[in-house]
Chain A
């Protein structure tokens, strides 16, 4: 039973206001009755607050405390940005709005599904009956048909300073608007591009911090050099198949800092990689749970490198195929699974057989024999992989640049784990 009923009652009283027309004793009686029925105390509290506040006094929430999957959310906040968007809902075209809401505690994205709501950038609004969802690890506020939005006086809230958000590379996918990162430049080169007929110099390369790596494009010469550690304030992120790309121009503030930044090559748990959809030059580890059909000795079209079947290319017709060796794996660490594509040289190393040997096996025993060999050598093995990971609607696929089988001393690890557990109990 809850022993601190009175502290809950205190909370309720302070929320509905001292002048509410209800006695403390009555509140306590109703509260205890809910508890007897097994209603969690927090829920009982909310129910009573709702019942006795009579809609007179609405409790506004701070954006930083709002969690996903809440309903009946009331907010007092400022519209930071708002954009219209045409979507199809059950085949019907519909105009929705999306953007950012802010208060002094933070900024969150919102989507308005209701056609009757009008919002202007900069408005301070009272929102009642909104609901929240989660999208890619971030809370999102939604307005539905039952949500009402009321514009109120501007001075109800201080101006939301929409400052660039301090961010790690691994969190870029959850950032909105401008970001503030401290990174090491891993490589950079100058490129000339054509912008509306005008030649412009851009600086492209890769950068990273202790959580990951990203590509970047600078539209201004910040004299970046490989090995520099810089703080970039006011860059924007975009993603290509889950690979983060940071873009910044002369409006950004870029300064060299003397801090040392260690760029990580630590393996990322697969569920994190899959949540981010992809990543630039990531390291992962997992168990090979499947070696897919299409692995082993294959033949490609000499013209377009496409896989050919029965000596025929889909585009170029009958051709003399060029042999190749590859592995298409499913690697899973128990938290998520990804596809992995391993090219010829790495496959040779992984299975300890050369391309020529595989070619001979294929011609003597058939292609199936090479696939069997790959399965024999790789299935159930733990592998360490490195490469670019690309995400699409079918999941995440890593194009291996490094791949090796991890040697495990099972007995030693088991013993260590056992000793650790015995130490704890």
Chain B
């Protein structure tokens, strides 16, 4: 049996997954299908190990969390992986770690799916490794977004046509499954997720070779953060399922004492942070 692919997926996408394909028989693996069609049996994560907790006596079950710029992976390691369990308990948190693991699911009741990771290997690494992984995962995620968009264009989404476009067989099958399983798929949410992660890699978008961005003092920064909080709160207050109209937001914020320019700037900044997005032109929705 050939080795299964180690997918690069952000926690923000992985934790949204609720489609499970169960293999029957020993040698047929199970997969978790994410909303972007990653068909995951195994994954590769680099992030920050934030906590490790023993859930059973003699460290028979250990839970750990690994954080990336978009969310947190839950890891469960048990008595059948004594080496990995031991490594997890020995690492002093917080620490950068590289994890190869298997996708696991927990379904407490019908229709409710929690995904987690059963680590196969855990190694301590440096911050550069985390940055490389984040960049690579951004690229992988963008590839999947593209694949889903291509899949949605087909009158009858099918894996054969997608593989002919150059996507891997696993991704093509995953995308078809995702399109059929996740109704009203919100691809833009993951575009925002990638932007958030990329911004994380370029915290100060200054520098000579880059377009000029107003360099703000710390105080100004704090001030604009406060404005963002206010605007975000207003959006949350007035939005419906479809979001909130741009003009309504501006109006409400102006009532709250902000000027138009500041509000529009703040909505853009919230979009950059990935806290809100524009599902249709002129409508803003929180993520």
A residues adjacent to B (C-beta < 8 A): 40, 42, 67-69, 134, 137, 139, 269, 271, 274-275, 287, 289-290, 330, 332, 334-339, 375, 379-382, 393-396, 408, 410-411, 413-415, 417-418, 421, 425
Kindly report which residue of chain B lies nearest to residue A41, judged by CB atoms: B155
8 Å CB contacts to A: which residues of B71-129?
98, 100, 121, 123, 125, 128-129
**A69 vs B163: C-alpha distance in the bound complex, in angstroms?**
14
Does B140 sit within 8 A of A, measured CB to CB? yes
8 Å CB contacts to A: which residues of B199-235?
199, 201-202, 205, 210
B residues adjacent to A (C-beta < 8 A): 1-8, 44, 46, 98, 100, 121, 123, 125, 128-129, 131-136, 138-140, 142, 155-156, 158, 160, 163, 168-171, 191, 194-195, 198-199, 201-202, 205, 210
**A318 vs B160: C-alpha distance in the bound complex, in angstroms?**
56
B205 A415 Cβ-Cβ under 8 A: yes
- Identify which of A336, A382, A394 contacts B132 (C-beta below 8 A): A382
Kindly report which residue of chain B lies nearest to residue A335, judged by CB atoms: B168
Residues of chain B contacted by A415 (CB below 8 angstroms): 198, 202, 205, 210
**A68 vs B128: C-alpha distance in the bound complex, in angstroms?**
44
- Identify which of B98, B163, B170, B202 contacts A411 (C-beta below 8 A): B202
- Identify which of B2, B7, B100, B128 contacts A334 (C-beta below 8 A): B7
B155 A42 Cβ-Cβ under 8 A: yes
Residues of chain A contacted by B199 (CB below 8 angstroms): 418
A395 B3 Cβ-Cβ under 8 A: yes
B3 A67 Cβ-Cβ under 8 A: no
**A31 vs B190: C-alpha distance in the bound complex, in angstroms?**
37
- Identify which of A40, A336, A379 contacts B98 (C-beta below 8 A): A379
A334 B5 Cβ-Cβ under 8 A: yes
A334 B6 Cβ-Cβ under 8 A: yes
**A232 vs B169: C-alpha distance in the bound complex, in angstroms?**
31
Assuming A42-B155, A271-B170, is B100 touching A411 (CB within 8 A)? no
- Identify which of A337, A381, A414 contacts B5 (C-beta below 8 A): A337
B123 A375 Cβ-Cβ under 8 A: yes
**A356 vs B132: C-alpha distance in the bound complex, in angstroms?**
32
Residues of chain A contacted by B123 (CB below 8 angstroms): 375, 379
A289 B6 Cβ-Cβ under 8 A: yes
Residues of chain B contacted by A393 (CB below 8 angstroms): 1-2
20 A–B pairs (Cβ distance < 8 Å), ordered by A: A68-B160, A134-B160, A271-B5, A271-B168, A290-B100, A334-B6, A334-B8, A334-B136, A337-B5, A337-B6, A380-B125, A393-B1, A394-B3, A410-B128, A410-B132, A411-B131, A413-B135, A418-B198, A421-B142, A421-B194
Q: How far is the CB of A420 from chain B (nearest CB, A)?
A: 9
Q: How far is the CB of A36 from chain B (nearest CB, A)?
A: 18
Kindly report which residue of chain B lies nearest to residue A338, judged by CB atoms: B3
Determine the main DSSP class of A at the interface with B.
mixed
B132 A137 Cβ-Cβ under 8 A: no
- Identify which of B98, B138, B191, B210 contacts A289 (C-beta below 8 A): B98
Residues of chain B contacted by A396 (CB below 8 angstroms): 2
A414 B46 Cβ-Cβ under 8 A: no
> In the complex, how many residue pairs between chain A and chain B have their CB atoms under 8 Å apart?
108
Residues of chain A contacted by B128 (CB below 8 angstroms): 410
**A339 vs B3: C-alpha distance in the bound complex, in angstroms?**
9
Residues of chain A contacted by B125 (CB below 8 angstroms): 379-380
A336 B201 Cβ-Cβ under 8 A: no
**A339 vs B210: C-alpha distance in the bound complex, in angstroms?**
40
**A337 vs B98: C-alpha distance in the bound complex, in angstroms?**
16
- Identify which of A42, A274, A332, A421 contacts B44 (C-beta below 8 A): A332
Q: How far is the CB of A46 from chain B (nearest CB, A)?
A: 11
Residues of chain B contacted by A418 (CB below 8 angstroms): 195, 198-199, 202
**A69 vs B199: C-alpha distance in the bound complex, in angstroms?**
43
B168 A336 Cβ-Cβ under 8 A: yes
B6 A410 Cβ-Cβ under 8 A: no
Residues of chain B contacted by A375 (CB below 8 angstroms): 123
- Identify which of B129, B135, B156, B194 contacts A42 (C-beta below 8 A): B156
Q: Which 8 A-B pairs have the closest CB atoms?
A: A271-B168, A414-B201, A380-B129, A395-B2, A334-B8, A332-B6, A418-B198, A410-B131
Kindly report which residue of chain B lies nearest to residue A67, judged by CB atoms: B160
B169 A271 Cβ-Cβ under 8 A: yes
**A396 vs B5: C-alpha distance in the bound complex, in angstroms?**
12
Q: How far is the CB of A250 from chain B (nearest CB, A)?
A: 37
A394 B1 Cβ-Cβ under 8 A: yes
Residues of chain A contacted by B160 (CB below 8 angstroms): 67-69, 134, 139
B202 A274 Cβ-Cβ under 8 A: no
